[in-house]
Structure 1
Amino acid sequence: MNSTSLTTKPTKLTLHALKTIIPSSFQHIQKHKMTLSSHLLHLLLFLSTYFFSPCFSAGKCHPDDESGLLAFKSGITEDFSGILSSWKPGTDCCTWSGINCRVDNRVTELSVSGQSDNPKSFLSGSISPSLSKLQLLVGIYMGNLLNLTGTFPQFIFHLPKLSYVYLENNKLSGPLPPNIGQLSQLGALNLAGNRFSGKIPLSISNLTQLGQLNLGQNYLTGEIPAGILNLNQLTLLRLDQNRLSGKIRNFSSFSQLSVLDLSYNQISGEIPATISSLASHLRYLELGHNLLTGSIPDFLGNFRSLDTLDLSGNYFSGVVPKSFSNLTKIFNLDLSRNNLVDPFPEMNVKGIESLDLSYNKFHLSNIPKWVTTSPIIYSLKLAGCGIKMKLDDWKPSQTYFYDYIDLSDNQIFGSPVVLLNRTELLKGFWFSGNQLKFNVTDLILPKSLNDLDLSRNMIFGKLPSSISGLQKLNVSYNHLCGQIPPNKFPATVFVGNDCLCGSPLPPCRK
């Protein structure tokens, strides 16, 4: 799986939900916003339970543990950032980075992870089977190491105390073992972001102690096995970004489920009525980018604790239920790219962080008032929503935290100059296919801006030099003139203007 697919549509977890959800693995804290990834939260719990408790080691670690760990290190061919630099023969392995010994100087936790902000923080090589010598191992975390290869590590089957397995974001491949159900003692299993293929083994039904199961971002195929319904202790189930097909199962046995993510698969049919049984606990329901059909069920309005609802990229039709006005705690709502029609219900939210209604069959006329008054919004995407308004008249309560604004393919006129001058953290601004008319020379771009699309409007003037710092740009089909500032963009982003000249277009006349 390529790096793009691994980062697609990350799930964000708001602080108000910290007391009610335990997620699955480590990611990052997003800058400038009080949000945590669901992955980080579980690692914090894992570390607080096993790593931050007092360690009672009084002597050197057991020789079997030392030899097993050194065998693992010997199987690593690249370690540029020195993740394993403290692992030296003859020293106490209980003091090595990522190692914890809690019982009789035996290794009980192994945590070796890469850092997303350090491109050299990875390991290349394979996982040595000698780790089976760590007979008292309770938890193993090998995340974001990127270049660890091989098949599902069989040594895991020989560790009787093992309860937590996190091997996400590596390059492990091949089928999941048919006998994976023998790991019946596991409380958490995370194999996300690898290259596992084939069907989910039927024996997974034996993992009845699992609180969290994350098999997302792999190449798994076939239907979700019926036996997965035996895992009634689950609080988190992520099977996203695979190639799974079939219908949504009857998940009514998951009485404690808080996170259900089946997005980016090939699952078909309607949302079954049995999903309604999850209303009391579910906070994250992500079914986007599948082949789902029918109408959005009215019972989703009963999920009053929902933080995130993603139904994007399906074939839903009809109206959005009026019961959505009951979703007072919703922070992230994505209904984009369906066949939904008017009217859109008035939402009774105190604040919305992320809203995407793009490319349905809505005729909103204006940006909804409950969006305009939101005190914390960071992403607003209402492309192709039938909005007819003067942009100068739109005065949102706050713009400081905006990351992304996409109002493309509407009938918006006026100028974005005032709006852009009120933003400081904006990364993407998309307004193509509107009726904007202003002098682009007056435009002051936020320093944070990476992506700007003003194509197919009526803007005029000379391009400011600040466009040179953008990563993406499109100002095609406007009325721009003059010398193009130094840039790295192809000619296609400048075509269709009145008299632009200079690289990558023909030289200006002297």
Structure 2
Amino acid sequence: MHPLLIIIPILLASSSAAAAQCHPDDEAGLLGFKSGILSDPSGMLSSWKKGSDCCKWLGITCLSGTRVTALYLSGQPNNRTTALSGTISPSLSKLSHLGGLYLLDLIHLSGPFPTLLFALPALQYVYINNNNLSGPLPPDIGDKLARLDVLSLEANHFSGPIPASVGRRMANLTRLQLGGNRLTGAIPATIQQLRNLNQLRLERNQLSGPVPDFFAHLTQLGWINLSHNRLTGSIPPSISALASTLSYLEMGHNSLTGQIPEFLGKFRALDTLELSWNRLSGAVPKSFANLTKIFNLDLSHNQLVDPFPQMYVRGIESLDLSHNRFHLGSIPRWVTASPIIYSLKLAGCGIKMRLEEWKPAETYFYDYIDLSENEITGSPVQLVNRTEYLVGFYASKNKLRFDFESMRRFPKSLKELDLSHNLVFGKVPGAASAPGLAKLNVSYNHLCGQLPPTRFPSSAFAGNDCLCGPPLPKCM
């Protein structure tokens, strides 16, 4: 079970965790932490008052009588009023029974890596995510934190290399989560020594060099995310050792080359495969027919070629094959038959069909549909009218031909609509000015007549036959 799921219910009951006053060392350590906080606009630490029982303070858990065993403070990622500004005081080293430190989404918490953690003998779980910590990770971090089960420092500003010591002595580590920083250099080979590792998440850094071929030693891995780095070379063959355990494999937005390995088709438990924005070539393996449980498949922006294999997915949620060298002809049957799908992106996939002839089994849940840069004819009106939660519909650079005024109803959820570079005619309907619509592009069609009141720029309507009225020239 995720350690957070263990801690959170305990926190909710922490007010009754101890009848006695908390240990004076713990009180002093926590008040020292509070003194390092310069701004607390939400009053997160308002219950932290000297002389009161610190086991009853917000975010504090005491499972060892009067000793603090967990510190959990969490803001809201997009709400700066829940942020904390300041630094992590070394006084937390007084919390000698602390097993879990959770400082999540506090945004403005700054300073270097808190080496005070090295002095906490009971520490097992470290989650310091979405803050503003910076500087290098200590070279001996793995030696000093050998007891950890989880090391999560995601979404900070740490820089420099991943220390080789991370894999040297951390035999108990199940999660290594360093994504969203500014880490550089190669992925250290010592990570292969983390035999209990379940999650390896190093995404959104500046890591370079080949993906290490060490996964045969990491047979417990269920999640690998190395996306948004500068990694090169091919997908290493040792990943084949994870066929029975791996659920998430994300390596998109790198510079990987070569073909997609045939062995990936043996990963029957695979939920997500994300290999977009690389330089992968060749055909997608026929063995992908075995991926019956996959929910999210993104192979977009590579150099993949026909034929695309027949798949037997029971219900895909998200599919992106855009901008390869496919000539699909039509939307695959297994996609059309999916009972629940949120995002379908097949831009530039060589689709030649009349849109009215596509009759998906379910359209209710669609969030995004991108069919841009194909040779699709007909009208999207029937399709769009069947959706309830559509956020974005993109069909630019096709051969759609229909009266735009027939699109009288836009889903209330629709935020973006792109029908540019088609053969759309008629007037722009008033629905195109719906308050929820954030982006509209109907440029380079055959629209005519006076525009309804609109907040969109002239570029959204450019290149039509005879549109007029603000923001275009006024009608004569």
Task: Give the TM bin, normalised by the shorter chain.
Answer: over 0.9
User: Quick one: which of 196, 206, 209 aligns to 2:172?
Assistant: 209
- What is the SS of the residue equivalent to 1:197? strand
After TM superposition, list the pairs within 5 Å mapping 1:314-333 onto structure 2: 314-333=278-297
Equivalent position of 2:277 in the other structure: 313
Contact (CA 8 Å) 1:56, 1:103: kept in 2 or not? no
After TM superposition, list the pairs within 5 Å mapping 1:331-346 onto structure 2: 331-346=295-310
Compare CA radii of gyration and give the structure with the larger one.
Answer: 2
Contact (CA 8 Å) 1:381, 1:404: kept in 2 or not? yes
Contact (CA 8 Å) 2:209, 2:231: kept in 1 or not? yes
- What is the SS of the residue equivalent to 1:106? coil
Deviation of 1:385 after TM superposition, in Å, equals 0.3
1:369 and 2:336 correspond: no
- What is the SS of the residue equivalent to 2:215? coil
Summarize deviations over 1:323-379 as a string: whole Å, max 9, x none.
000111111101101111111001011110110000000000110000001001111
1:57 and 2:18 correspond: yes
Distance 1:279-1:474 versus aligned 2 partners, 3 A rule: same
Partner Cα distance (2:67, 2:474) in 1: 72
1:430 and 2:394 correspond: yes
Equivalent position of 1:299 in the other structure: 263
Contact (CA 8 Å) 1:222, 1:244: kept in 2 or not? yes
Partner Cα distance (1:52, 1:342) in 2: 58
Equivalent position of 2:440 in the other structure: 473
Equivalent position of 1:193 in the other structure: 155
1:458 and 2:423 correspond: yes
Partner Cα distance (2:11, 2:192) in 1: 29
Equivalent position of 1:162 in the other structure: 123
Deviation of 1:66 after TM superposition, in Å, equals 1.7
1:139 and 2:100 correspond: yes
Contact (CA 8 Å) 2:234, 2:256: kept in 1 or not? yes
Name the TM-score, length of structure 1 as normaliser.
0.89
Deviation of 1:487 after TM superposition, in Å, equals 3.4
User: Quick one: which of 199, 204, 208 aligns to 1:241?
Assistant: 204
Contact (CA 8 Å) 2:14, 2:56: kept in 1 or not? no
Deviation of 1:253 after TM superposition, in Å, equals 0.7
- What is the SS of the residue equivalent to 2:448? strand
Partner Cα distance (1:288, 1:388) in 2: 28
Distance 1:279-1:46 versus aligned 2 partners, 3 A rule: farther
Deviation of 1:382 after TM superposition, in Å, equals 0.4
Equivalent position of 1:103 in the other structure: 64
Deviation of 1:481 after TM superposition, in Å, equals 2.3
Summarize deviations over 1:416-442 as a string: whole Å, max 9, x none.
111111111111111111111112222
Partner Cα distance (1:316, 1:132) in 2: 49
1:499 and 2:462 correspond: no
- Report the AA paired with residue 193 of structure 1: A
Contact (CA 8 Å) 2:33, 2:89: kept in 1 or not? yes
Equivalent position of 1:220 in the other structure: 183
- What is the SS of the residue equivalent to 2:452? coil
1:483 and 2:450 correspond: yes
Contact (CA 8 Å) 2:352, 2:374: kept in 1 or not? yes
Distance 1:505-1:310 versus aligned 2 partners, 3 A rule: same
Deviation of 1:46 after TM superposition, in Å, equals 4.2
Deviation of 1:81 after TM superposition, in Å, equals 2.2
- Report the AA paired with residue 53 of structure 2: D
Q: What are the ranges of 5 or more consecutive residues in structure 2 without an aligned counterpart?
A: none
Equivalent position of 1:93 in the other structure: 54
User: Quick one: which of 67, 72, 77 aligns to 2:33?
Assistant: 72
- Report the AA paired with residue 216 of structure 2: S
Partner Cα distance (2:269, 2:13) in 1: 31
User: Quick one: which of 379, 388, 412 aligns to 1:447?
Assistant: 412
- Report the AA paired with residue 93 of structure 2: S
Partner Cα distance (2:291, 2:171) in 1: 32
Aligned-CA RMSD value: 1.7
User: Quick one: which of 94, 97, 112 aligns to 2:73?
Assistant: 112
Distance 1:211-1:323 versus aligned 2 partners, 3 A rule: same
Moved more, 96-105 or 192-201: 96-105
